[in-house]
Amino acid sequence: MLDIQKIRTDFPVLSQKVNGKPLVYFDNGATSQKPQVVIDAISTYYQEINANIHRGVHTLSQLATDAYEVSRAKVKNHINAQFLHEVLFTSGTTFGINLVANGFASILKPGDEVLVSALEHHSNIVPWQMLCEKTGATLKVIPMNENGELIMEEYDRLLSPKTKIVAVNHISNALGTINPVKYMIDKAHEVGAAILIDGAQAVPHLKPDVQELDCDFYVFSGHKMCGPTGIGILYGKEAWLNKLPPYLGGGEMIKEVTFEKTTYADLPHKFEAGTPNIAGGIVLGTAIDYMNEIGFDNIQKQELELLNYATKRLLEIDGLQIFGTSEAKTSVISFNIDGIHPYDIGTIIDKLGIAVRTGHHCAQPIMNFFGIPGTIRASFSFYNTKEEIDLMVDAVKKAQMMLS
């Protein structure tokens, strides 16, 4: 069993008050809070080894380079990539998806098809729309049902030799649905399609094994798993990364430059142009170490307990409806109360110290499916408690009384 109270002392922000009330932070789907070890690691980098990497023979540059590449190795081991050069540092999930979509512009032609799901974040919709507009390919959508689950029979029907890439999230940011990505990967490969998994909402809750999944690309952000903002990972199979052209041109991604011709660097540097977020890359490794020390089995047990308890407590409220009732689900609850706009609930409970997200959660097609303007989303992390859930439920009840 985790000692949650001890873990909470690792996170300075959790001890503060908001509007005179103890902070209850239930917006982990947007970004997680940072433990002191991560905060300290950022400070240590800038105080002790701040230097540009891969370019200097002086001691600080070598120290920074070593720390950056050690972090890359930590990510490789964490996701079980086959090769170190299959792990690319990016600025986040959105950048990684755009990098892959841009690369596929050199592959797709009119009549080809790209599949996305009805459960996607805008970051896994818009780049593919832009790609299809550029290439003449067709975007097709895997539909969902009332439980917030993708309809696998329709997915099977949509797949064809015309399908060139499938893009689907591992876990829905808006509903918490855990998608059957292993099945989807295997089916995509049966028709010769590549598949990209958006793991932004998955990596705070589980350890993805990219070799076991056999995905072609897997993208995620550091800031949702106790790391800093502005850093992310794109995993890509070696064969695919060699096939795709560079996304950005500049320093670091070149082997040789003349005015007549440029040759590109080997992986992973081919896709890492310019000075990166060095501190972010190094400290992502610190965050991964911290979460592995907590243990992902322990994280999953704690978060499932919170999900079940919060679901039970919230359903005690008259007129409350939960959106996203998949059996395979992680610690996210999206809900509304009859006759009350979600923004109004969110505004009132903020005054009581409760931090939740309201709106469409960058997933407007999901809200359109349910015919609603948005939801109140409470997203839990392993450092949250049942007592905090009780505070949220009391606050929602108070808001309901004020707004009814």
Q: Kindly list the catalytic residues.
A: 362
Q: Which helix (H) or strand (E) holds 139?
A: strand 138-142
Scanning 45-114, the segments in alpha helix (DSSP H) are: 59-79, 93-104
For residues 376 and 334, give the distance between their C-alpha atoms in angstroms, rounded to a whole number.
Answer: 5
Phi-psi region at 241: left, alpha or beta (left = phi > 0; alpha = psi -120 to 50): alpha
Phi-psi region at 294: left, alpha or beta (left = phi > 0; alpha = psi -120 to 50): alpha
Q: Determine the 3-state secondary structure of 300 from DSSP.
A: helix
Phi, psi of 131 (to 5 degrees): -60, -45
Q: Which helix (H) or strand (E) holds 347?
A: helix 342-351
Assess contact for 74 and 288: CB atoms under 8 A. yes
Instruction: Say which amino acid occupies 151.
Output: I
Q: State whether the Cα torsion 380-382-384-385 is positive or negative.
A: positive
Assess contact for 165 and 196: CB atoms under 8 A. yes
Q: State whether the Cα torsion 345-346-348-353 is positive or negative.
A: positive
Q: Determine the 3-state secondary structure of 306 from DSSP.
A: helix
Q: Which helix (H) or strand (E) holds 21?
A: strand 21-22
Phi, psi of 143 (to 5 degrees): -75, 165
Residue 171, strand partner residues: 178
Query: What b/e string do you get for 121-152 counting C-beta neighbours within 10 Å, with b at 16 or more?
Result: bebbbbbbeebbeebebeebebebeeebbbee
Query: Which residues, including other chains, have CB under 8 Å from residue 60's CB and lie 6 or more apart?
Result: 49, 50, 51
Assess contact for 219 and 99: CB atoms under 8 A. no
